[in-house]
């Protein structure tokens, strides 16, 4: 049996991959939505980017299923492609990995910032369906990510449990550095951990300078593996690059050296899963790999 993510983490820090959507847009893919339908319409571009992340040293490849819950796909007229999209995304990752990197099935928030308190029962079936499919398609573990509401993250976690797969749950915060309910990120991490997630942390919306202090607090609040996947774009907590309409390409992209500094600092803090999100390309991941003492493939 190949080594799972928890066994791998037990041996030391793991390097994740980068951000896909914004890099693909920078490379000229259509701007319409942030849908995983890219894996069907632009399979070569997704494949090339994922291959580049692997070559840079990523030990985990995130299957491009983010925002792939059925309701999200229906919103972009792709509801009938639900299974096909997930199958293709997993196939692309598996063809690159060939057992040399772990494949994470990625589940993003079904409603994002449109989530409202009490939507838990509404979103859970969408998460259950997606998690079950990713398990069937052979995901090594699940990354449940980019939740603004703790309640939303808890719904996804609950939905993932029947799969028996290891889960990593990461919250996001914007425009202020709390959940939309007003909870601090270390509190969210503690609750998610108590409710049974294996790996907990933060992704997207903050650059390393903003995310690392939050991660320090999370490190103090929970035992076991923690994860950080910041954006590689300079941002400000109260005028974030990820405003409702603006994208990070309008702002200052951090250098590979900046992300190498992030990786070094993350190691010092005791972050176990060190990845990156929007704006982070293969050159950033390569710099992080080197900072972590890895040689690129």
Cα(133)–Cα(115) distance, rounded to whole angstroms? 23
Nearer residue to Zn ion within complex by CB, 156 or 278: 278
Task: Single out the residue of 16, 119, 32 nearest to residue 76, CA to CA.
Answer: 32
CB of 19 to Zn ion, least distance (A): 5
CB of 23 to Zn ion, least distance (A): 11
Helix, strand, coil in percent for the chain, rounding step 5: 45, 15, 40
Name beta bridge partners: 144.
107, 169
Token pair 């593996």 is at which residue? 225
Nearer residue to Zn ion within complex by CB, 137 or 210: 210
Nearer residue to Zn ion within complex by CB, 14 or 211: 211
CB of 180 to Zn ion, least distance (A): 17
Residue 250: count other Cβ atoms within 10 Å of its Cβ.
9
CB of 203 to Zn ion, least distance (A): 6
235: left (phi over 0), alpha (psi -120 to 50) or beta: beta
Nearer residue to Zn ion within complex by CB, 277 or 288: 277
Nearer residue to Zn ion within complex by CB, 131 or 202: 202
Q: Which residues bind Zn ion (CB under 5 A)?
A: 204, 277-278
Cα(248)–Cα(207) distance, rounded to whole angstroms? 11
CB of 231 to Zn ion, least distance (A): 6
Name beta bridge partners: 270.
none
Nearer residue to Zn ion within complex by CB, 253 or 277: 277
Q: Which two tokens stand for residue 283?
A: 């050159």
Cα(264)–Cα(269) distance, rounded to whole angstroms? 9
Cα(20)–Cα(46) distance, rounded to whole angstroms? 8
CB of 2 to Zn ion, least distance (A): 28
Report the first-to-last Cα separation within the chain, whole angstroms.
23
């Amino acid at each position: 049996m190949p080594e799972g993510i928890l066994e791998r983490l037990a041996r030391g820090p793991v390097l994740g991959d980068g951000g896909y959507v914004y890099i693909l847009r920078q490379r000229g893919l259509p701007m319409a939505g942030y849908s995983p339908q890219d894996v069907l319409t632009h399979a070569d571009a997704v494949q090339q980017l994922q291959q580049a992340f692997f070559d840079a040293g990523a030990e985990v490849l995130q299957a491009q299923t983010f925002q792939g819950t059925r309701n999200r796909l229906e919103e972009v007229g792709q509801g009938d492609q639900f299974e096909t999209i997930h199958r293709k995304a997993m196939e692309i990752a598996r063809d690159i990995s060939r057992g040399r990197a772990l494949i994470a099935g990625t589940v993003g928030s079904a409603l994002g910032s449109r989530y409202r308190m009490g939507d838990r029962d509404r979103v859970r079936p969408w998460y259950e369906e997606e998690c079950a499919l990713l398990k069937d398609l052979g995901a090594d573990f699940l990354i449940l990510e980019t939740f603004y509401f703790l309640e939303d993250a808890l719904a996804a976690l609950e939905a993932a449990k029947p799969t028996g797969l290891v889960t990593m749950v990461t919250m996001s915060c914007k425009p202020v550095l709390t959940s939309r309910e007003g909870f601090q990120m270390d509190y969210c991490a503690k609750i998610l951990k108590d409710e049974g997630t294996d790996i907990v942390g933060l992704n997207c919306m903050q650059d390393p300078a903003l995310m690392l202090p939050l991660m320090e607090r999370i490190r103090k609040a929970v035992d076991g593996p923690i994860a950080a996947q910041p954006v590689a774009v300079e941002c400000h907590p109260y005028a974030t690059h990820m405003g409702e309409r603006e994208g990070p390409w309008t702002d200052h992209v951090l250098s590979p050296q900046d992300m190498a500094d992030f990786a070094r600092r993350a190691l010092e803090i005791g972050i176990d899963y060190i990845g990156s999100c929007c704006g982070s390309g293969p050159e950033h991941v390569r710099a992080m790999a080197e900072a972590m003492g890895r040689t690129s493939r």
